[in-house]
């Protein structure tokens, strides 16, 4: 069964491979990413806006690379702006600050543990019933 979708960026029909954009858009992104990375390596202290202007691309595009974790801001680069999506604290890469990532991970684990416990206790009571019936 073919899994055709419309590319979220260019609208063309493409075979879905787990990414919201088509192959040529992915390639375009890769090219752009290389250019951005090279520029930042050469000009490590430039701001997001300066990079966007110099390369004639949108600020959103650079932020997208940062969010995807493709780009990471160097430790002394305080000019680039990227904010934690949860608390708004400035971060260097990804979508959340380390504290929020830890929190989110904890939340996810908590949910999983609760589910596991209910399943386990249900099994236990079933076993108990079976045991009693046998006697
Ligand atoms: Zn496309
Ligand atoms: Zn945060």
The reply to whether 11 falls in a domain is: no
Q: Do residues 38 and 70 both lie within one domain?
A: yes
Cα–Cα distances in angstroms (integers) from residue 1 to residues 5, 11, 16, in the given order: 13, 21, 11
Conformation bin of residue 110: beta by default, left when phi > 0, alpha when psi is -120 to 50: alpha
pLDDT (0 to 100) of residue 34 = 93
pLDDT (0 to 100) of residue 3 = 86
Q: Do residues 92 and 74 both lie within one domain?
A: yes
Average pLDDT per run of 10 along the chain, which is 135 residues long?
86 90 92 91 84 91 84 63 85 87 83 55 61 60
Full residue range of the structural domain in which residue 53 is found: 29-96
Q: Do residues 67 and 119 both lie within one domain?
A: no
47 C-alpha vs ligand 1 centroid, how far in Å? 28
pLDDT (0 to 100) of residue 104 = 85
- Looking at the CA of 100, which ligand is closest? 2
Q: DSSP character for 14?
A: E
58 C-alpha vs ligand 1 centroid, how far in Å? 17
The reply to whether 108 falls in a domain is: yes
């Amino acid at each position: 069964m073919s899994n055709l979708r419309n590319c979220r960026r260019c609208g063309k029909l493409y075979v879905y491979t787990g990414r919201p954009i088509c192959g040529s858009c992915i390639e375009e992104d890769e090219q752009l990413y290389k250019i951005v990375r090279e520029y930042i390596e050469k000009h490590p202290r430039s701001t997001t806006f300066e990079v966007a202007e110099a390369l004639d691309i949108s600020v959103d595009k650079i932020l997208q690379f940062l969010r995807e974790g493709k780009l990471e801001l160097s430790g002394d680069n305080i000019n680039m702006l990227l904010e934690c999506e949860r608390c708004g604290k400035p971060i260097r890469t990804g979508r959340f600050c380390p504290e929020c990532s830890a929190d989110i991970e904890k939340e996810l684990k908590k949910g999983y543990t609760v589910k596991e416990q209910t399943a386990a206790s249900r099994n236990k009571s079933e076993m108990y019933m079976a045991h009693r019936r046998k006697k």
